[in-house]
Every structure is written in C-alpha cells, then in structure tokens.
Amino acid sequence: MLNKPIYFDHAATTPLDKKVLEKMLPYFTENFGNANSQHVFGRNAVKGVDEARDSIAKIIGAKPGEIYFTSGGTEADNWALRGVAHAFKDKGRKIIISPIEHAAMISTAKALEKEGFIIEYMKVDGEGFVDLDHLKSIVDDDTILVACMMANNEVGTIEPIKEIAKIAHEKGALAFSDAVQAAGVLKIDVKDLGVDLMSMSSHKIYGPKGVGLLYIKTGVRIESIITGGHQERTKRGGTTNVPGVIGFAEAFRIADENLEENAKYVSSLRDRFIKRVLAEVPFVKLNGPVDGAKRLPANADFSFKYIEGESILFSLDLAGIAVSSGSACSSGSLEPSHVLLALGLPDELAHGSIRFSFGKHNTVEEVDYCVEEIKTAVDRLRKMSPLFKAEGEINYV
C-alpha cells in the first residue's frame, strides 16, 4: 500500500492547479465586484473577465464576443441543444446526435423528443468512431442540428469533427461539438473545424468546478435557457462567476502551453499500463481505439470478463486506487454503459468495464502498483464468480 491514495480518475475531474488558485484568490477578496456594476469594483471584475475571455478566444481561434460563460459543460450542452432546437423549430424538427454523448446531451435530447423533436442517432463502429456514410444518409433538409462530441469521456475515441461539420453544413444544419474532454488536450481551432457551437468545462483541465463556456459563432441564432439580467450580452443571465472564469482561463492557458509535453507524458503512462494489463491479465478487453493516437492520451478503458466493474472498483478503492466504472455520471446506477452498448459490446462486458484516466501528476510507480493490484483483485474475484467457474476456468492459465 502506498502512503497516499492514487488518483486515476481525471476524466471525472482534476485537482485545481496551484497557479490557477493563486490567480483566482484576489477575485474572491479585493476584486470581489459584480462584473455588471458601474463603479471601480465592477470595472476591476470586468477587466479580469475580459482578459479571461480574450485569452480563451485566442487559444481556440474564436472572437472574444463568441465566448459565453456558463456554469459548466452540462449547462453549455443543454444550451446548445435546447437553444438551437427552440430557435429553429419552424425550420425543422430533426436533431442528429452520436449515441455515445455525455449524459448532459442524451438526457436533453430525450427531453426534446418529448417536446416533439425527432432525435436520430449516428452509427458508431466497434471503436466508437462515427460512421460518416451513415451520417450522410440521415442528414436531410429537416435536420437543424448535428451534434457529436470531440472526444469520448469513457473510451477516449477522438471523432472526425471537421468531416461531421461539413456533412451537417451541406444540408444547411448547424454543427455542435462537446469539447469538454478534448479542450486543453487536443489542439482546437473552431474555424478550422467549422463548428457553429462548442462546449468546454474548466474542472476537467485543472481549473475550478462550476464554470464552462459555450462558443457560439457570430450570426448563429440561439435562444437563451437561463434568462435574467444583461450578463453575457443578454444571452445568459446570472451574476458572472468572476473567480471561476479567471481560473478557467488560467487553467486553459497552462494546458495549452504544455499541451504536447503533457500528452506525451500522460500517454506514456497509458501505453505502459495498457501493455501490461493486456499481457498480464487474462480475459480482458481494451475498449475504444486500439491505435493510441486516435484515443485521448489519458484514457484506458477495460472490460474484465466474468466480473462486475463495481467489484473491481471497490477492490481497487480498498487498495487506495481511485478509478471509475463506466463514466462517473452513470456509475452508481446498475445500468450497463450506453457507450459500450453502442460500440456493440454484449451486456456482460458492458457491465464489467473500468475507466482509468491518468493525469500530469501521476507516476510510473503508481501505474505499476495499480497493475499488480488489478491482478490480485481480478484473480480473487474470478475465483468467487460462478460464471467463471462454469466456462472461464477451463481456459484459465
């Protein structure tokens, strides 16, 4: 047992970077002003928020006026989907999304379905990649929005967003991408990608929780979902989370500055981990892309045959290792992962999956310790599994 717990759940959230905290602190105390106030306190807050907006816009190739701060990725996803649906309901009723979207998207799409919108799902292959030919065949003149995440939070698949946006535009539909897992990890240029809307969140990139953004390309029509004061050019009411926004921008700046270096380091941990698990643990399946360059550098997702994901999670937790079964948002429910089902995994394997997501503070020693603990846990759990006794043990070496 190591002397401090190991954190391999960075796709769920990340620790706040100390440099980010330092940058935020004055905005809780001296610069506490409401960014909407017409006095020196307000002006100080606005100055910070403006700088944050400029900095983020520059990194993603947007104009500052195209950045709208929100309470996080979930709100930005909700806004994109609901806001576009409601603004364009007279033009068309169809919305196409990928079947492996985050719960923030899937639940919102289901709610819109109840309002009378038609939701269609793109097909994905066994590694989670969108089938572009299938997408082409379902986008039509009734389609108002095509939405696909830039990178999947569970299996790490990096999607061909540029091609997806092009297909949407050919039929006059808008293109939205949830870039929560991709931002700060992959280089993003909204103009090059051609997306009309894009969401991001701060707490997945060593920034504070409760702040995110929606990029809305100039001229794109969208209805507000949070109405109130004149904040965010009257499109999103509510007093601006000034320290949050400042921290978000600083976290994104640091992530962008160290993008290649971080990706290289984190993917070296991931590759070592994947290689060892595949070689040393029997009856295990790597979910998502086999090609490391096509999956998020931090992500490794495995299904352990004959064992419930939850039981491995609990064993690893006892050994001081924090991971998640499926995605953090669906764990706790005993439903199999909707992502793994969409990838065509049988129920049983979709139940037995564990996501390991590495971060910049993790070490090789932690990775190696984790592999040993997995071997111990898997071996013990399989010995207790009736299913394993029935069929697995025969081939077990």
Ligand X SMILES: *Cc1c(COP(=O)(O)O)cnc(C)c1O
Report the catalytic residues.
329
Nearest to ligand X of 104, 381 (CB atom): 104
Residue list 66-85, contact with ligand X (CB under 6 A): 72-74, 77
SS3 (DSSP) at 67: strand
Closest Cα to residue 106, out of 298, 354, 337? 337
Question: In the bound complex, what is the minimum distance in angstroms from residue 207's beta carbon to ligand X?
Answer: 10
Answer for which of 44, 55, 177, 181 binds ligand X (CB under 6 A) is 181
Q: Are 360 and 265 in contact (CB under 8 A)?
A: yes
Please report whether residue 153 would count as binding ligand X according to CB under 6 A: yes
Please report whether residue 128 would count as binding ligand X according to CB under 6 A: no
Please report whether residue 14 would count as binding ligand X according to CB under 6 A: no
Please report whether residue 212 would count as binding ligand X according to CB under 6 A: yes
Phi-psi region of 176 (alpha: psi -120 to 50; beta: other; left: phi over 0): beta
Please report whether residue 9 would count as binding ligand X according to CB under 6 A: no
Residue list 356-375, contact with ligand X (CB under 6 A): none
Nearest to ligand X of 179, 254 (CB atom): 179
Spatial separation of the C-alpha atoms in residues 48 and 53, rounded to whole Å: 9
Please report whether residue 201 would count as binding ligand X according to CB under 6 A: yes
Nearest to ligand X of 95, 371 (CB atom): 95
Of all helices (H) and strands (E), which one includes residue 193? helix 190-193
Spatial separation of the C-alpha atoms in residues 260 and 111, rounded to whole Å: 39
Tokens of 85: 């649906």
Residue list 85-124, contact with ligand X (CB under 6 A): 102, 104
Please report whether residue 247 would count as binding ligand X according to CB under 6 A: no
Question: In the bound complex, what is the minimum distance in angstroms from residue 384's beta carbon to ligand X?
Answer: 33
Phi-psi region of 209 (alpha: psi -120 to 50; beta: other; left: phi over 0): beta
Question: In the bound complex, what is the minimum distance in angstroms from residue 327's beta carbon to ligand X?
Answer: 7
Tokens of 176: 């939205």
Question: In the bound complex, what is the minimum distance in angstroms from residue 369's beta carbon to ligand X?
Answer: 26
Question: In the bound complex, what is the minimum distance in angstroms from residue 201's beta carbon to ligand X?
Answer: 3
Nearest to ligand X of 185, 284 (CB atom): 185
Spatial separation of the C-alpha atoms in residues 376 and 258, rounded to whole Å: 36
Please enumerate in sequence order all residues whose Cβ is within 8 A of that of 11, keeping only pairs 6 or more positions apart, or say none.
Answer: 153, 154, 181, 204, 296, 298, 299, 324, 327, 328, 355, 357
Sites of contact with ligand X (CB under 6 A)? 72-74, 77, 102, 104, 149, 153, 178, 180-181, 201, 203-204, 212
